[in-house]
């Protein structure tokens, strides 16, 4: 099979690495890709927001399957445009990607199909939103309705923070994404990520993970795209997974089909788990980054076989096997991240076989005058497996310490919650 992978981050490098291991694969292309992905794929200089150009490339090169990494092209309808051009594709339609593209849409779906989630209100003007926030009081959560690159959520512990969050949405800080706002009840508990592969009818459980969103050790400091992750998430016991499927995922699949927009692709549920069970915080309609990196390290089965089955509506015949080991990834970022990361510093010491089972996925790198350089905020994902999360953590940090990149930094405590649990603390 000839496969085209869209995207350029660490998530896509992990997908490329796993796809390249498939005996079904004859040729992998990636657009735009990165220097890490270039180890597994031929990079193509395609503008992936130009769906006509992507479809033209697929026709010319006789691409058998397109796999989309990031959310923006999905929300912009690339799956519809490629399918209309007769190209096979793994990923949700524009209507189905509303599960990520509109938080209000997802909340209304939850209300209509009885899916456990935080109580909420939807508003398109400041005065009404403000009145609701003042009535409910803090703590409270303010969310821009649309895609805001992970920045549209304010978890407000005081009324003043909540009002600032509302102002930021309605003054245009998030562009059109903030023209509508969801105001939510503040939930407490432990967060986890739960993934399913979906084919419009069947949702096949596809692993669990936990990530670290804050930039600093101890989960402090500004929010980021994610500074590390591990899998599996200990809080996702077989009982919680069974309840998540029955109470959240299956009603979502039925509801989306009933609304005329059946969901096919990766359904990524952000969950809050407390003594009453799981509640949905939000949906994403693609793999998490860096959660994908740890899932790919643990996946025993052939990813391409599974994605084909999803594209053909055949997931009810499939099962997924995982390695027993835990996996953990540490994000190395360029100094300045998440504000203004410094670009251009040279990274040494990541070439060649390490022979220790670790993988270094490229997230934001470039080649400049023959040298590998930092080219973004999150730059490398140093990923390892181990018998426990603690062992995977030791392996990952040992690999981090072999990298020669003085201008990079990482958190030193990725996985702390699971490691403490393993130690019985
Ligand atoms: P989201 O982009 O919706 O995942 O929100 C980003 C983060 O904000 C989540 O990972 C949670 O840590 C937090 N968050 C979102 N919604 C709530 C809520 N209703 N209660 C508490 N924390 C929340």
pLDDT at 151: 77
pLDDT at 18: 98
Mean pLDDT confidence for 99-115: 97
Mean pLDDT confidence for 334-344: 95
Mean pLDDT confidence for 133-138: 93
Mean pLDDT confidence for 168-179: 83
pLDDT at 267: 98
186 Cα nearest atom in ligand 1: 20
Distance 329 CA to ligand 1 centre (A): 22
Residues with CB under 6 A from ligand 1: 118, 141, 143, 153, 155, 184-187, 191, 270, 281-282
Question: Cα–Cα distance between 200 and 90 in angstroms, integer?
Answer: 11
pLDDT at 411: 98
Residues 207/298, Cβ–Cβ less than 8 Å: yes
pLDDT at 352: 59
* Protein residue whose Cα sits closest to atom 4 of ligand 1: 282
Does residue 354 have a pLDDT over 70? no
Does residue 292 have a pLDDT over 90? yes
pTM of the model: 0.96
Three-state DSSP state, 66: strand
pLDDT at 293: 98
Distance 325 CA to ligand 1 centre (A): 29
Q: Would you place residue 147 in the very low, low, confident or very high pLDDT band (cuts 50, 70, 90)? A: confident
* Protein residue whose Cα sits closest to atom 9 of ligand 1: 281
User: Of 24, 97, 89, 92, which Cα lies nearest the Cα of 311?
Assistant: 89
* Protein residue whose Cα sits closest to atom 5 of ligand 1: 153
Distance 155 CA to ligand 1 centre (A): 7
Does residue 353 have a pLDDT over 70? no
Q: Would you place residue 255 in the very low, low, confident or very high pLDDT band (cuts 50, 70, 90)? A: very high
Cis ω before 94 (30° cut-off from 0) = no
Distance 31 CA to ligand 1 centre (A): 31
Distance 188 CA to ligand 1 centre (A): 10
Phi/psi of residue 115, nearest 5 degrees: -95, 125
Average pLDDT, the chain: 95
Mean pLDDT confidence for 127-144: 94
* Protein residue whose Cα sits closest to atom 16 of ligand 1: 281
- The pLDDT tens digits of the residues spanning 1-45 come to 999 999 999 999 999 999 999 999 999 999 999 999 999 999 999
Does residue 341 have a pLDDT over 80? yes
Distance 153 CA to ligand 1 centre (A): 7
Strand runs labelled E in 104-167:
120-123, 140-144, 153-156
187 Cα nearest atom in ligand 1: 20
Q: Would you place residue 295 in the very low, low, confident or very high pLDDT band (cuts 50, 70, 90)? A: very high
């Amino acid at each position: 099979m000839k496969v085209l992978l869209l995207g350029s981050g660490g998530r896509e490098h992990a997908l490329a690495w796993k796809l390249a291991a498939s005996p079904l694969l004859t040729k992998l292309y990636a657009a735009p890709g990165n220097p890490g992905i270039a180890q597994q794929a031929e990079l193509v200089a395609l503008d992936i927001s130009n769906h006509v150009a992507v479809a033209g490339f697929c026709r010319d090169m006789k691409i058998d399957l397109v796999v989309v990494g990031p959310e923006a092209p999905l929300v912009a309808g690339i799956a519809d445009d490629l399918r209309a051009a007769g190209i096979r594709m793994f990923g949700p339609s524009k209507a189905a990607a509303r599960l990520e593209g509109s938080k209000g849409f997802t909340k209304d779906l939850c209300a209509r199909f009885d899916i456990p989630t935080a109580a909420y209100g939807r508003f398109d003007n400041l005065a009404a939103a403000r009145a609701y926030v003042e009535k409910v009081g803090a703590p409270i959560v303010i969310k821009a309705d649309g895609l805001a690159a992970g920045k549209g959520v304010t978890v407000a512990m005081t009324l003043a923070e909540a009002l600032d969050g509302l102002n930021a949405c309605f003054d245009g800080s998030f562009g059109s994404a903030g023209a509508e706002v969801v105001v939510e009840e503040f939930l407490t508990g432990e967060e986890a990520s739960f993934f399913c592969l979906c084919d419009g009818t069947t949702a096949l459980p596809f692993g669990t993970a936990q990530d670290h969103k804050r930039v600093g050790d101890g989960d402090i400091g500004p929010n980021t795209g994610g500074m590390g992750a591990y899998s599996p998430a200990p809080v996702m016991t077989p009982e919680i997974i069974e309840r998540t499927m029955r109470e959240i995922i299956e009603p979502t699949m039925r509801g989306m089909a009933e609304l005329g927009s059946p969901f096919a692709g990766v359904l990524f549920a952000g969950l809050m788990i407390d003594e009453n069970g799981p509640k949905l915080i939000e949906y994403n309609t693609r793999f998490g980054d860096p959660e994908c990196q740890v899932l790919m390290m643990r996946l025993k089965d052939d990813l391409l076989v599974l994605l084909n089955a999803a594209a053909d509506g055949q997931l009810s015949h499939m099962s997924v096997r995982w390695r027993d080991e835990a996996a953990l990834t540490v994000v190395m970022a360029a100094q300045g991240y998440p504000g203004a990361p410094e670009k251009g510093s040279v990274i040494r010491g990541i070439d060649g076989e390490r022979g220790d089972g670790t993988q270094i996925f490229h997230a934001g790198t470039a080649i400049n005058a023959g040298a590998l350089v930092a080219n973004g905020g999150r730059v490398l994902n140093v990923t390892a497996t181990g018998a426990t999360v603690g062992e995977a953590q030791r392996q990952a940090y040992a690999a981090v310490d072999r990298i020669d990149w003085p201008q990079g930094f990482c958190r030193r405590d990725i996985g702390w919650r699971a490691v403490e649990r393993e130690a019985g603390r």
